[in-house]
A and B are shown apart, each in its own frame.
Chain A
Amino acid sequence: MSTTEHRSTGTIYEQVQASPEFADLRSRLRRFVFPVSAAFLAWYMAYVLLASYAPGFMSIKVAGNINVGLIIGLLQFVSTFAITTAYGLYASKHLDPAADRIRRQIEDAT
């Protein structure tokens, strides 16, 4: 861990934090995780609200004994698996290379 202080320009962490490359990494992370978190929380709360306030709608049969409620419930699983996979791909393509590069810069500088 480094706490090398450069009074005029701030610590290495402050220098990195102010760099455009770090700002780009941060915005790429936030551009993915904030909207996706908002979306899945809204989708989950919509499901909970439907189950408590619209049981009639949830009970409509679609195929055999499979009703809307079961399908929406299973879709929650599908969306969770899909977001998990999408984030893994996004992170290894758009986050990890930049994070590794910046980390090496910091470790070389200290």
Chain B
Amino acid sequence: MSTLAQAPAPTTVGNVFVNIGIFLAFVIVTLVFVYRASRTNRTASDYYAAGRSFTGPQNGMAIAGDYLSAASFLGIAGAIAINGYDGFLYSIGFLVAWLVALLLVAELLRNTGKFTMGDVLAFRMRQRPVRAAAATSTLVVSFFYLLAQMAGAGGLIALLLQIPNSNRLGQSVVIAVVGILMIVYVLVGGMKGTTYVQIIKAVLLIVGAAVMATWVLGISGFNLSGLLGDAVANSPKGEALLNPGLIYGGSSLARIDFLSLGLALVLGTAGLPHILMRFYTVPTAKEARRSVVWAIWLIGIFYLFTLILGYGAAALVGAEQIASAPGGANSAAPLLAYRLGGEILLGLISAVAFATILAVVAGLTITASASFAHDVYANVIKRGKASPDEEVRVARTTAFVVGIVAIVGGILVNGINVAFLVALAFAVAASSNLPTILYSLFWRRFNTTGALWSIYGGLISCVLLIIFSPVVSGPTSAIFKNVDFSLFPLSNPGIVSIPLSFLLGIVGTYVGTYVGANREVDEAKFAEMEVRSLTGAGSEKAIAH
């Protein structure tokens, strides 16, 4: 993910009051939906899974709203405007990744599980250790993702509300407001309210991008080649803007690093707990499939728009103005909006970008709280004997705590470049979650030991490799510049930790069988899981209100 960079001189454009006004309108509309949703929030299934009552297309839009973070809107458009082709590479990894979810995960998960990823991972294993492991990795992924979103909020605030980075107090207040709004959405609206926020945001974001992309193409006479030519002519990078290599070219290490990132992106999406949880909000596996189909079309078309917007910003705004604006590369799309449609379009796009943070953060919070309440509290601590009401109460308390942690964390890391946390969240999801999901769905012999080795092995190797990577310490790092304990040369651990975790799943399974910890496969449970996952028999039903 491209960095939400520090703001240099405050050479601002646009009208703060228009930005805030449009954003407030978004908040009011979404709060109405959230309040209406709250009236049907009665059971655990309502709170966690919106009563499983959304249709495939609705859920597909919500998935797009959950997945297209501010980083992928502002970040990719900015990366293309400044560095051309290499920004485009990102969006392809993010899109192709959805095929893993469509073909291998979504429907089978919907048929087997109830509320969380842990439901599927622990289905035929020993409940407590596997649920504890699933919850640990869910919390780690969600926390990293959350922190990265909140840290990015500072850069966005500088850009959209024109509160400069020197005004730490002002930015902190805005971060706190974002966090409190998000807590209100989740506590009042539960999964249904959160879903409406994501749907509204996705529609605004995609329509906004469509209008701008059409406008840009119209200016260049609907001639893509001409637009690219204008971008090249207006860029200090020249011809190189159209070719790969501006970010990831150069040393052979940089190339391996890019392979590592590519692997984490394409395998991480289907292991992101907040994405997996969305599949439970539809009534059947068929609707889960339809929701992924909708999500793929929406996300894919959106990334095509960002390609136009990125090159359009290079052609019409120019790299120099973008780089010197508050927010740096991230200001490419907002500046382009201003260039095209003045204050009103800028206000719209700014409000949408801000709403984006809210929607993504709310989705992460409900996932983290569900995993803690359902996996850790109800199944590990209470051994499955907690009442659903008790569970939801714990989930609400956890959501509140997660919200507070996000606010405090967001204020503390504001301005520190923690963009690598998003890549890390994808790497952890790809290495600690995906192998266990696939093995438990498709491999009969897979057992508890294999699951634990794979989840913890993937998680620990990922986090350790990041700690000892050049992004944390060393001369070029973001956090500790004065010390250097970077023993691992790559900034993304995926190329090591993903194969390692797949391997540990196999080795652990055979070791578990050999030492007798898992004397035999639970054939009855495996039969139930396999038949349920493919046919939907016995799956959780929708609630009619």
Binding site for B on A (CB under 8 A): 1-2, 5, 10-11, 13-14, 16-17, 22, 25-26, 29, 32-33, 36-37, 40-41, 44-45, 47-49, 51-53, 55, 58-59, 63-67, 69-70, 73, 76-77, 80-81, 83-85, 87-88, 91-92, 96, 99-100, 102-103, 106-107
Q: In angstroms, how far is the closest chain A Cβ from the Cβ of B539?
A: 9
Which residues of B are found within 8 Å of A77, using beta-carbon distances?
A: 92, 95, 300, 303-304
Q: Is the CB of A99 within 8 A of B243?
A: no
Which of B223-231, B349-357, B377-385 binds A? B223-231
Taken together as a complex, chains A and B put the C-alpha atoms of A70 and B245 apart, in Å, by: 13
Residues of B85-118 at the interface with A, using a CB-CB cut-off of 8 Å, are 85, 88-89, 92-93, 95-96, 98-100, 102-104
Q: In angstroms, how far is the closest chain A Cβ from the Cβ of B104?
A: 6
Tell whether B530 is near chain A: CB-to-CB under 8 Å: yes
Q: Is the CB of A65 within 8 A of B242?
A: yes
Taken together as a complex, chains A and B put the C-alpha atoms of A100 and B266 apart, in Å, by: 31
Tell which of B249, B296, B304, B534 has the most Cβ of chain A within 10 Å: B534
Which residues of A are found within 8 Å of B176, using beta-carbon distances?
A: none
In the complex, which residue of chain B has the Cβ closest to the Cβ of A78? B300
Which residues of A are found within 8 Å of B408, using beta-carbon distances?
A: none
**Which residue from B100, B524, B535 sits with its C-beta under 8 Å from A10?**
B524
Q: In angstroms, how far is the closest chain A Cβ from the Cβ of B485?
A: 28
**Which residue from A49, A80, A84, A102 sits with its C-beta under 8 Å from B531?**
A102
Which residues of A are found within 8 Å of B89, using beta-carbon distances?
A: 48, 51, 73
User: Given A10-B527, A11-B524, A13-B532, is A84 in contact with B242 using a C-beta cutoff of 8 Å?
Assistant: no
Which of B9-17, B28-36, B254-262, B418-426 binds A? B254-262
**Which residue from A33, A59, A88, A102 sits with its C-beta under 8 Å from B242?**
A59
Taken together as a complex, chains A and B put the C-alpha atoms of A38 and B193 apart, in Å, by: 38
Which residues of A are found within 8 Å of B304, using beta-carbon distances?
A: 77
In the complex, which residue of chain B has the Cβ closest to the Cβ of A99? B535
Taken together as a complex, chains A and B put the C-alpha atoms of A81 and B296 apart, in Å, by: 7
How many A-B pairs with Cβ below 8 Å? 165
Q: Please give 15 more A-B residue pairs, beta carbons under 8 A apart, in addition to A48-B89, A81-B297, A102-B534.
A: A13-B527, A13-B537, A22-B531, A44-B266, A47-B92, A48-B93, A49-B259, A52-B249, A52-B258, A58-B243, A69-B85, A84-B99, A99-B534, A99-B536, A103-B537
User: Given A13-B528, A48-B259, A52-B255, is A87 in contact with B523 using a C-beta cutoff of 8 Å?
Assistant: no
Q: In angstroms, how far is the closest chain A Cβ from the Cβ of B253?
A: 11
Which residues of B are found within 8 Å of A32, using beta-carbon distances?
A: 103
Which residues of B are found within 8 Å of A36, using beta-carbon distances?
A: 99, 103
CB<8 Å pairs between A and B, sample of 11: A5-B524, A13-B532, A36-B103, A52-B248, A52-B258, A55-B245, A59-B244, A65-B242, A96-B286, A102-B535, A107-B537
Binding site for A on B (CB under 8 A): 85, 88-89, 92-93, 95-96, 98-100, 102-104, 224-226, 228-229, 232, 242-245, 248-249, 255, 258-259, 262-263, 266, 285-286, 289-290, 292-293, 296-297, 300, 303-304, 523-524, 527-528, 530-532, 534-538
| SS class, residues of chain B in contact with chain A | helix
Q: Is the CB of B96 within 8 A of A13?
A: no
Q: Is the CB of B293 within 8 A of A84?
A: yes
Q: In angstroms, how far is the closest chain A Cβ from the Cβ of B437?
A: 14
In the complex, which residue of chain B has the Cβ closest to the Cβ of A75? B92
Q: In angstroms, how far is the closest chain B Cβ from the Cβ of A15?
A: 8
Tell which of B88, B289, B537 has the most Cβ of chain A within 10 Å: B537
Which residues of A are found within 8 Å of B255, using beta-carbon distances?
A: 52-53
In the complex, which residue of chain B has the Cβ closest to the Cβ of A105? B537
Which residues of B are found within 8 Å of A66, using beta-carbon distances?
A: 224-225, 228
In the complex, which residue of chain B has the Cβ closest to the Cβ of A59? B243
Q: Is the CB of A84 within 8 A of B96?
A: no
